[in-house]
């Protein structure tokens, strides 16, 4: 099974990672792991909806769709447009904290 089908990333402010991890644990999230300004955990559809409704310290819930390496902006947009079969890009999270939109 692909790791991107089972993990979500819950972003938060610096210093609130443990509070968010405790909130996720209270929602019965499994394999909760604290990272810099975020918490990663396993999810199912019910947990995903509950996270969006009930988490107080979570800024946004990210569900990774796929991962690939890019050496240039052309590679990045070329893969996103041609590789995914989409004709319009809403946003791309490029690394830790970088967010590009089109």
Mind listing the pLDDT tens digit for each residue in 29-55? 999 999 999 999 999 989 999 999 999
pLDDT score of 11? 95
Question: 62 versus 80: which is more confidently predicted?
Answer: 62
pLDDT score of 1? 40
Q: What is the average pLDDT across 61-90?
A: 71
Please state which CATH number belongs to domain 3-62.
Answer: 3.30.70.940
Q: Domain ranges in the chain?
A: 3-62, 68-102
pLDDT score of 75? 80
pLDDT score of 49? 92
Burial 50-61 (b: 16+ CB within 10 A, else e): bbeeebebbeeb
């Amino acid at each position: 099974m692909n790791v991107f089908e089972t993990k979500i990333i819950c972003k938060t402010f610096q210093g609130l990672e443990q509070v968010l991890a405790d909130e996720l644990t209270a929602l019965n999230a499994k394999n909760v792991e604290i990272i810099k300004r975020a918490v990663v955990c396993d999810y199912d559809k019910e947990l995903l909806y509950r996270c969006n409704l009930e988490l107080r310290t979570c800024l946004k819930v990210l569900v990774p769709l796929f991962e690939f390496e890019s050496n240039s902006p052309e590679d990045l947009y070329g893969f996103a447009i041609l590789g995914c079969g989409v004709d319009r890009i809403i946003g791309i999270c490029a690394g830790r904290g970088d967010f590009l939109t089109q």
